[in-house]
Structure formats: C-alpha cells, structure tokens
Structure 1
Amino acid sequence: MYLNLCFLYSVISKLLDPQSAAIVGASPKPGTVGYVLLENLATRFKGRAYPVNPKYDVVELWGRKIKFYKSLLEVEDDIDVAVIATPAPTVPKILEEAGQKGIKAAVVISSGFAEAGNVELENWVKAVAKQYGIRLLGPNCIGVYNAYTNFDTQFLPVERAGRPPPGPIALISQSGAVATAIMDWAARRRLGMGFVVNYGNKADVTEVELLEAFAEDERVKVITMYMEGLKYPGEAKRLLDTVRRIAPKKPIVVYKAGRGSTAAQRAVRSHTAAMAGTYEMYHGLFKQAGAIEASSVREMFDMAKALATQPTPRGPRVLVVTDSGGMGVQAVDALEALGLEVPEVPESIAKELKRELLPFAAVSNPIDVTGSATDEHYKIVLDMLLPTAFFDMALVVTLMQVPGLTKNLAEYIIGAKKYGKPIVAVNFGGSELVQKFEEALEDSGVPTYPTPERAAKALWALYRYSQVRRRL
C-alpha cells in the first residue's frame, strides 16, 4: 500500500507541482482564455512554459520574444504537464500527441463534454488518456493553482481574481467558479492557501487521488473540500475509506452543496455531470469517516484556519475573556449551543483575580475585564487560568475601541500560545488600529474572527478533530 501511494503521489505531482508545462491553445490575444493561461505560466511560473498554437511563430509579449510551437511533438524538451484549452472536439487528438511525446499528465480546461451531454466525446478522451497512461484532470475545469511555484491554470486575470499567498491550506473543489471566488476572497484576507485544485467532470483524477496526494505533502496542514456530488458507482466507499485513513493524520473539512431539493440536484447534474444524492448519505459518510463538515464555504475556512494553526484541545472546556459583557454572553450562547463547556472559575482563583482586576470586573467565566480594561488585565487572566487543568482552550474578545487597550495586547495574546492550548480571538471594527491588531494576531498564528459565533465554531472544529483522532 505504501509503495502504491508513493507511486500515485509521484504521478499526481506532475499535475500539482510540475517543473515544465505546455499550454496548448496559448494565444497572444488579450481577453482570451489562451492569453491568460500564457501570461500566468510565461511570466510568473517558476518552471518552464511552452506555448503551443500552430497559428503563431514568434510573438513579442511582456517585453520579450515568445516562441510558439506548432504541436506538442515539436517541443524538444521534456514536459511534465500539458494544459489544454482548445475546442472540445480537438482534445482527443491533442492527448494522442501528448502520449506520443511521453507526457504523463494533462489539465483539460476545455468544456463541452459530459456536462453538456457529450458523454461519448468524454469517454473518447478517457480512452486516449488511459491508452497512453496520462493522468487527466478535468475536463471542464480551471485546474491547478500552486502558490509555491505559481503553476496557475486559472484562466481569470489576476486583476479580476486574486491569488492567495502560500500557506498550510489546500482546497479541492468540484466547482471552478467557487474555487476562483474562494481564491479571490482568501487573497484579500491574506489567508495562506498553498494549493487549489478544481477537478471539473473528473473523467480520470478524482477527489480521492487529490486527497491522497495532499496527505503526503508536508506543506499541507489542512485539506478543505467543496463537493457537489459523486459520479460513479463505488465512489462513496472509496471516498469513505480514503478520508478515514487520512483524517487521523490531517484534518479534512468538507462543505457539501446541493443538499437534497430537486432543484439543487438538477443544478449539480447540469454543472459537472455529477449526482447530488441524498444529503443524509453524505452527512453519514463524513461523520463515519472523520471529516469535519461545514455548513457554508465561509465556515469551512473559519474552521480550517484554526485547524491549521492551533493544537488540538484535551477537552471541551473554554475560557472566555472579554471587555464587553454583551459579547461575552453571545460567546457563551454560541459555545454551549455547540456542546462545548464554559465552566466557572474555581473560587480560590476567582478571589485572586478579584485582587488583580478592576473592582467591577466579572470573574466567573466569561471573565469580563470591562470597558476600562488595559492590556495587562488580559495578560493576568490568560497567565493565571490557561496553565491550569480547568480550561482546555480560550476565546478572547478584544474590542479595541476601549481606550485602555493598545497594540501591545496582541503580544500578550500571542505569548499565551506557550501554554499549548488553542486560542482564538474576536476582533470587530474597521479602524486602522483594529486592522493592524488583527494582522499581528493572524501573522503569529492566532486566528481572528469578527463574531463570537464564528470563533466558537472554530473551537468546536478543534474539539471535534481531537475526538476524531482519538476514535480513529
């Protein structure tokens, strides 16, 4: 099994982490898919890029001369992956050339296959790929974004769709548009995403192979999945077995769209030729396999951010520290609704806190240091309670509008990481101080959320994953 996985990873790595790529359908005409792909790979990709289009010879672009090749067979160098963006009927012939060239991986951007009713054409593509031993991603996909090498087959311009920085999260998405929107969203928030892969119609490579590849990649700490539906008989069991094998080593967070209505299932079929199935089936599959299920894309990344940066807690007991009584109440509501515990502070420690905090501070849990708090009041609470066995994790509300708080508070919260327990922060507002404070926490690995509910769900994910690891 281990040797098989190593071989699989070495082949799939040609798709995810190639050193050279040919762009079939590359174009010098701005505004076309071929132009964006060429710009991505010719100007930012750290590997070698070979444009293929018989209409062009040498074209001056971006201040240099770009040589175009008539076909894949004309390229003298070895090629790891062929990126194909030509009309659907031309794809089988191009794959034949790729096979004759010895290329073992292809990303088929082109649409117009099974999702449009052309099942026979898609089967032809699959047959050619199988004949030559080519691992094929797609068709009808945006392919791969690798933030480490800038191998980027997304065909939307950077100025319209941002690319996130390298980081510990990988995304496997059945939808290209959803993947693009997530990348743009993550880029604006500086959320590190090392890999984004959209597999489209999954004529060959499925989420299972991608899960296995990311399980072996040390740069990936959390795997996220956007799913619409499975496509072939037997896929559910294969996915279940794969997730169950990987989950004890790496968290897998899944958001399943198309949750059961007739209209939703119809939309899934027309999108990627998949079957949505009953949501109850997927829910049971995820729970049994140890995946953590999200109820939205945003929630998926709220949880992934915490799972990528925080240790797993030993238990469900949460310390809540706040400078707003109202936010504290909301935090307790959210935590308890998720099955987490907010235990009272032991009387002996509460008495000591009373001596150290302001006379009107509440010390029962949530601990309300009040709107008159200073940075040091937070430090006192965290240093006194987090090292004890009474609490497993902390939710810290920091409304920076309070006059006694400064940017130094971030250092105190970051310093509390030394106790080895999960810490998440709630930071709400739009001032420069609020933004800089949030950036300091995030850059130091303390996930920050705008509401207590979202922070509570992140802690729930951490506790849920601790249970998964114990069970599996």
Structure 2
Amino acid sequence: MQPNLKFAFNAKSVAIVGASRNPGKIGYVVLENFVKGNYKGKIYPINPEAKEILQVKCFSTLSKIPHDVELAVVVVPGAFVPKVIEECGQKKVKAAIIISAGFHEVGNEELTRQLQAAMGKYPHMPVIGPNCLGVLDSYSGVDTLFLPRYRLNRPKKGNISFISQSGALGSAVLDWAGAKDYGISKFISYGNAMNVDETDLMEFLAQDKETSVIAIYAEGIRNGRKFFESAKRITKTKPVILIKGGLSDAGGKATASHTGSLAGSAQVIDAVMKQTGVIHAKTMEEVFDFARVLASEPRPKGKRVQIITNGGGYGVLTTDAISFNGLQLAQMQEKFRKPIMAVSPSYAVIKNPMDLTGDADNNRFLVALQNAMADPGVDSIILIMLFQVPTLDSDIIEGVSGLLRNRKKPILVMSVGGEFAQMHMHLLEREGINTFNEPTTAARAMAGLTHYAMKRN
C-alpha cells in the first residue's frame, strides 16, 4: 500500500519532539525554522523542562497537546526514538520525520529492531528517516532541516524536487542551488529509509502539481523491483533524473557504512535506467543542468540541432559534443538561410555550425536566431554568444529574450568569460533562458531533454 505522505509536506500542525532552548542544538534550529520561516500552521514544541521556547508554548509530551497533530518531527537521542514513535501512533499523528541517528548505520541492530517494531504497530503513519535532514517544502513552509538559515539560504520556489539519501550531500546541493538561483519545490533527505524509501517519495512527487522534474541521489535502492515498476510508469509523464552513489567496489563499501544500505553495480543501474526511461546524471551539476532544462524548455520533435556562434572554435567544439551525445546537426532550408546571408559578410559561414564571425552585431544574431526558430528542419538550437567582441552590445539581451519568450523549440545559450560575460548570462537567466559555460554541458543537457522527449513521442 502506498503511504500517504501529504502530511509530511502539507501538515497544518506540527510537533517538534525534542525542541530545545539551546541555540546550538538541533531541536532549537528545527523549531526556529517553523517559527521564523513561512510556515502558517500550528506549532507544538515538546520539552518537559520548558514552559515556552521562542515565545511558543511547550508541552511535556505529545499526549498533553489538546489538539490533533498532523506531523511529528523527532529530534531526541536515538535511544528514545522507539518510545516517541509509539506515542505518535497513540496520538494518531498522521506522519513522522525522524532526524535522530544511531541505528543500523552505526551497527546498532537492537535499537533498529525496536524502532521497526514501533513503526510496525502503526502502518498508516508513514515515517521518513531515521538519520536524515527530513523535508523542505518551499510552498507550505514545512522545514525540518537542522541547518541555520544564515548558513544555508533556502532556494526560491520552483518546480524541481530533489530526493537525497545523504543529508550532507543534499544540504550542500541545496545551498549551491540557492546560490545559482535555481528554484526548488521540495527537498527530501530520507536517510536509512526504514519505512519510507526513495520509491515512495518518487510516487508522491509524481502526483505533486508543484513538481515538474524529480531528481534523486541514492546510494542504495531499497527495493529494486518496486523502483523499476514505479519509474517505468512515472517517466511517461514526468522526468526522473538519478545520480547513483556506490557504483564502484570501494563506493559500495562506503555506502554500507554511511546509510546501512546495499549499492547496486554500475551495469545493473545502467540497465534499469535504460529500461525505465530514467535519465542518468554523472555529476551533481549535471543533475541540475538536466533538471532546469527539462523543467522549462519545450520538448523537441527530433534530434536535429542548429548551432549559431560568433566564435568558430566554439562551434567546432559544440559540433563534437552534439555528435558524442547522440544528436545530429540540422540542415537549414535555403529559404531560411537567405535572410541570414543578406545581413552577413561573404566570409560568414551560414551552414551548421553557423559561424556569424567575430564582427557579428545584434541584428545578425537576431536574424539568424529568428530564421533557425522558423525552420521546421531545426528541432533545437544552441546559441553561442561571445560577449567580448565590441560589435555585440547589451541590447542583445532584450532582443534574444523577446524572440525566446514564446519559443516552440528548446534553445540553450552558451557563453564564456569573466565578469562582463557572466553579467549578461545572469540577465538571460532572469528572463527564463538557460545558459551554460561549456559546449559539453550544453550538449549533454540538450541530449538529456531530447532523448527523454523521443521516448515519450
């Protein structure tokens, strides 16, 4: 039976079991997230030695709360967790998140059995964890991360959701996503997955209207058959990106000591991804390159890519990258090439890659882009703009943004350089245009989008 996880993300009331008065303790940080964040529900700190914390009334136990509790966040020492889960069940709490560690991941099998037994008595109460950061929902304000906001800025609202078995890796990625200004819908660190696993979370996100793309970091797949069947179905309507840890022998051993789970071989994981349509990312940066493109770009109708550049060398490198990633060079029709030739010098190469040369101005770029967008023989475009040349001025941002606002095919922009180039790329990003610093990363992202679209067609 699929667990009902909505209360882990959209709870109207939350109890922090183990709330602390000490700002250096996890129980304080988690409570502060709810009190000072954008959570609008009722908050119940559980601390038998305090009357109030952060001006919120405390209760000695869950049973003393006179109202229903939809979510319990457990931050007590590991030895007390099984008893707390029993109390949650008796209180009819709808969902629980166990931040506490000290179970199978450190070899404490007896405590693990006790926790499993406690959870088993209340099968209708899904439990995320233990040994995790828990949940960040950018829309509901649920935030169980025990990382202070001054150390980890929460990303803006978006439509990418990220599931991570590793809390430390996930938090670093979350911080990086915020710095890159990537929007996040939901982040889940699920730790040891004793009750709720990566497949359960993927199933929940598949139905979530605020999630367009699902990204997963997993060290061990808890139930391979269950994951396989779910992923095969989900990827038909929503992209799933997986980065898998523990693929090497050494990595597999590290996985066992980190979360107590078993890692699958690289060959098995590759086979699963090919059969299910899950997109395989090799680096964390690639996860977000794939995710942001899949979340925002139109689906291409085919593999034919038109390259437009004002730097011949980058055109060649992008051509190689396109080929290495299973895409093809488009062949533009003569009637769409003629208007470009009319505004270009004789030494410009109006083919593919299209080298507008280093003296290309705004108008030459815009005419080339407009005609490539209109050509039915072009499925997607990689636009390379080197801002160092004096003939290309800042008005190109407005021109490109205007053309791309209602685009029907995916268009990625690549540029490279220092402060001036980065400033213009940031301006393009603010207009909803995906930019890249390398031909290889742009080509990989376009390939990920294209291969996903081809499997869905």
- TM-score by structure 2 length? 0.96
Query: Are 1:425 and 2:413 matched, yes or no?
Result: yes
Q: Give the whole-Å Cα distance in 2 for the aligned partners of 1:98 and 1:37.
A: 18
Which amino acid in the other structure matches residue 313 of structure 1?
A: P
Q: Give the whole-Å Cα distance in 2 for the aligned partners of 1:415 and 1:342.
A: 25
The alpha-carbon deviation at position 47 of structure 1 amounts to 2.2
Contact 1:260 1:277 in 2 (8 A): no
Q: Give the whole-Å Cα distance in 2 for the aligned partners of 1:159 and 1:358.
A: 54
The alpha-carbon deviation at position 344 of structure 1 amounts to 3.9
Q: Give the whole-Å Cα distance in 1 for the aligned partners of 2:10 and 2:215.
A: 18
The 3-state SS of whatever aligns with 2:73 is strand
Q: Give the whole-Å Cα distance in 1 for the aligned partners of 2:88 and 2:314.
A: 59
More deviation, 359-368/97-106: 359-368
Within the candidate set 342, 357, 379, 1:392 is matched to 379
Contact 1:310 1:445 in 2 (8 A): no
The alpha-carbon deviation at position 445 of structure 1 amounts to 2.5
Deviations 1:367-395 (A, max 9, x none): 12222222221110111122112210000
Q: Give the whole-Å Cα distance in 1 for the aligned partners of 2:346 and 2:282.
A: 42
The 3-state SS of whatever aligns with 1:151 is coil
- TM-score by structure 1 length? 0.93
The alpha-carbon deviation at position 119 of structure 1 amounts to 2.3
1:333 matched residue in structure 2:
320
Q: Give the whole-Å Cα distance in 1 for the aligned partners of 2:339 and 2:36.
A: 61
Q: Give the whole-Å Cα distance in 2 for the aligned partners of 1:130 and 1:16.
A: 22
2:228 matched residue in structure 1:
240
The alpha-carbon deviation at position 348 of structure 1 amounts to 5.0
The alpha-carbon deviation at position 467 of structure 1 amounts to 2.1
Q: Give the whole-Å Cα distance in 2 for the aligned partners of 1:407 and 1:69.
A: 59
The 3-state SS of whatever aligns with 1:37 is helix
1:166 matched residue in structure 2:
157
Within the candidate set 109, 114, 125, 2:104 is matched to 114
Within the candidate set 17, 26, 30, 1:37 is matched to 30
The 3-state SS of whatever aligns with 2:45 is strand
Contact 2:46 2:58 in 1 (8 A): yes
Structure 2: unaligned runs, 5 residues or longer: none
Matches within 5 A, 1:142-291: 142-231=133-222, 235-261=223-249, 263-291=250-278
Q: Give the whole-Å Cα distance in 2 for the aligned partners of 1:58 and 1:255.
A: 43
The alpha-carbon deviation at position 347 of structure 1 amounts to 4.6
Structure 1: unaligned runs, 5 residues or longer: none
RMSD: 1.6
Contact 1:243 1:252 in 2 (8 A): yes
Query: Are 1:310 and 2:297 matched, yes or no?
Result: yes
Q: Give the whole-Å Cα distance in 1 for the aligned partners of 2:101 and 2:107.
A: 11
Contact 1:46 1:151 in 2 (8 A): no
In structure 2, relative to structure 1, the CA distance for the partners of 1:334 and 1:137 (3 Å cut) is same
Contact 1:47 1:149 in 2 (8 A): no
Q: Give the whole-Å Cα distance in 2 for the aligned partners of 1:118 and 1:46.
A: 38
What fraction of aligned residue pairs are identical, expressed as a percent?
36
Within the candidate set 42, 46, 49, 1:48 is matched to 42
2:390 matched residue in structure 1:
403
Q: Give the whole-Å Cα distance in 2 for the aligned partners of 1:299 and 1:323.
A: 26
Deviations 1:329-371 (A, max 9, x none): 1111111111111134445544442222233322111112222
Contact 1:442 1:448 in 2 (8 A): yes
Q: Give the whole-Å Cα distance in 1 for the aligned partners of 2:361 and 2:299.
A: 29
Which amino acid in the other structure matches residue 35 of structure 2?
A: A
Q: Give the whole-Å Cα distance in 2 for the aligned partners of 1:149 and 1:349.
A: 48
Q: Give the whole-Å Cα distance in 2 for the aligned partners of 1:221 and 1:408.
A: 32
The alpha-carbon deviation at position 215 of structure 1 amounts to 0.8
Contact 1:323 1:399 in 2 (8 A): yes
Q: Give the whole-Å Cα distance in 1 for the aligned partners of 2:407 and 2:178.
A: 31
Query: Are 1:27 and 2:9 matched, yes or no?
Result: no
Count the aligned residue pairs: 454
More deviation, 419-428/351-360: 351-360
Q: Give the whole-Å Cα distance in 2 for the aligned partners of 1:20 and 1:305.
A: 32
The alpha-carbon deviation at position 419 of structure 1 amounts to 4.1
